Amino acid sequence: MLRNSLIGSLRQIKPILCSQSLRSLSNGANSGLTTIEVDDKSGIATLSMNLPPVNTLTLNLMHDLIDSINQIECNKSRGLILTSSNDKVFSAGLDLKELYKPDQERLKEFWTIFQDLWLALHLCGIPTAAAINGHAPAAGCIMATACEYRVMLPDFVIGVHATRFSFLVSKWMMLSYQSVLPRRIVERALNQGKLFSTQEALEVGLIDEVAGSKKEALAQCAAFIGTFDKANPIARTLTKRMCRDSDVTELLRDRAGDLRACVDYINTPLFQEGLSAHLEGLKEKK
Ligand SMILES: CCCCCCC/C=C/C(=O)SCCNC(=O)CCNC(=O)[C@H](O)C(C)(C)COP(=O)(O)OP(=O)(O)OC[C@H]1O[C@@H](n2cnc3c(N)ncnc32)[C@H](O)[C@@H]1OP(=O)(O)O
């Protein structure tokens, strides 16, 4: 029963790509904002975000990420490592320009694809790890927490600072944070809008390891993926999805409601004013 419902849920978000032969993983259908490299020896795929300057999650980047995750999964790679081609920023989170004075139809599309991306990462059947080689604020952090393991380079920040610009997070996003950190830490950090330094993130358990370089981070992620070698892949996938079922169900049971609530909130003067000040702050820091 539970297994059927998990598989059913997955079908809703994975309608594509699995019929293709994909050992050489080209990004033909997408905008080329991601690259996939598969290590021939280990069979592990490294998925890099490549949208200068700071990998903001635009519609196109989110589309490409979902497409790439599907390709990697369908190609039966042994694992997926999410990282960035930028050596200072993993991802700056959602594209704030899409949220400021938005076109309503485009905003709906934007929020829906953000939900899709979270589901694709959260339900990815193969082992996933994030090599966080730069800053990872807000949705950058949420992508990392949707992975099963996180290795981060020193002197960067990670966290959800949404309250600083009046963002009210949905429950499914909070659950994502809470699947990695204790509830009391999540509550405090979310309310403070806290961005953790690499060292603080390690101390609270938001990340699993620190690495000295991107190369080391990728190797540490690969070593983590290797720890599943003795597990039967199908049993592992179903077990992972069972563990994540309640978080995912929170979103799947009322995606349309979440969309409505977020769109309504984004349109409020409270949010628009907070965002305007935040965007000004980004400009002024130059
Ligand atoms: C459990 C709850 C989960 C809640 C999730 C909530 C839903 C998610 C919401 C979001 O993700 S909203 C996005 C929030 N992100 C930010 O506020 C990050 C803002 N950016 C920065 O702090 C910095 O850019 C950086 C990431 C630390 C990098 O700093 P750096 O000095 O390297 O670059 P900058 O000069 O600041 O930026 C370059 C360029 O890019 C523009 N930009 C940066 N971030 C964004 C963004 N998120 N959206 C749109 N544009 C962004 C920045 O303004 C610069 O533009 P120009 O001035 O060069 O035109």
The full set of domain ranges for the chain reads: 26-283
The predicted structure's pLDDT at residue 41: 95
- Ligand 1: residues within 6 Å at CB? 53-54, 56, 88-89, 92-97, 135, 137-139, 142, 160, 162, 167, 169, 173-174, 176-177, 282-283
88-145: per-residue pLDDT in tens?
999 999 999 999 999 999 999 999 999 999 999 999 999 999 999 999 999 999 999 9
Pairwise CA distance, residues 43 & 240, whole Å: 20
Residue 152: alpha-carbon gap to chain centroid: 15
Q: Mutate which of 54, 142, 198, 272 to test ligand 1's pocket (most atoms within 8 Å of Cβ)? A: 54
ipTM: 0.96
Q: pLDDT confidence of 13, banded at 50, 70, 90?
A: very low
**All residues at 6 or more sequence positions from 111 whose CB lies less than 8 Å from its CB, including other chains:** 259, 262, 263, 266
Q: What is the number of the ligand 1 atom nearest to the C-alpha of 162? A: 6
Residue 20 phi/psi, 5° resolution? Answer: -85, 155
Its CATH class, for the domain covering 26-283, is alpha beta
Q: What is the number of the ligand 1 atom nearest to the C-alpha of 140? A: 11
130-188: per-residue pLDDT in tens?
999 999 999 999 999 999 999 999 999 999 999 998 888 888 999 989 999 999 999 99
Question: How confident is the model over 199-226, as a mean pLDDT?
Answer: 98
The predicted structure's pLDDT at residue 198: 98
Contact 62, 117 (CB under 8 A): yes
The predicted structure's pLDDT at residue 5: 53
22 pLDDT higher than 80? no
